[in-house]
Amino acid sequence: VDDLVKAMGAGGMSKSQVSRLCGEIDERVNAFLTRPLEGTWPYLWLDATCLKVREGGRIISRAVIVAVAVNEDGKREVLGVATGPSEAETFWTDFLRSLADCGLRGVKLVIADDHKGLRAAARRVFNASQQR
């Protein structure tokens, strides 16, 4: 943590200050990820990538997924981001259900790669047409 703080130009900050700032960032990110999604969002883009991360002293691979949508007014917005152990269907399903729980409605077309788990989850949660 000390090296990271120095690299960010905050070398004079204490560990408690860094912890407080990280807590504030976590609050803002959680507020963004759980905000109400109002209106209808007919077009939904889904994508994922795998990143190497340090967890418990080991380097492991984690999936990072993102949802971007366009509403009826043509406004494009990132609706959600999540990380998980893999791009398994259950991970996609949980992610899409969390978006639906926040109010994502009116999805008519899901644009994504041809990942089998993603396709099945999108069909299960939104019953929308799909395009690669």
Q: Which CATH number characterizes residue 105's domain?
A: 3.30.420.10
DSSP one-letter code for 85: S
Closest CA to 79 of 40, 29, 32, 47: 32
In this structure, the answer to whether residues 52 and 115 fall within a common structural domain is yes
Could you tell me the two tokens for 125? 């949660």
Q: Assess whether 82 and 109 both reside in one domain.
A: yes
- The domain in which residue 60 lies consists of 43-131
Amino acid at 7: A
- Taking the CB of residue 37, how many other CB atoms lie within 10 A of it? 18
- Residues 84, 110 within the same domain: yes
Cα Rg, the chain, nearest whole Å:
18
pLDDT tens readout for residues 110-129: 999 888 889 899 999 999 88
- Do 25 and 82 fall into the same domain? no
Q: Is 65 in the same domain as 119?
A: yes
88 shares its domain with 59: yes
Encode pLDDT of 34-93 as tens digits.
899 999 999 999 999 999 999 899 999 999 999 999 999 999 999 999 999 888 899 999
pTM: 0.79
Same domain, 75 and 119: yes
Residue with tokens 């959680």: 30
Residues 90 and 48 placed together within one structural domain of the fold: yes
What pairs with residue 61 in β-bridges? 52
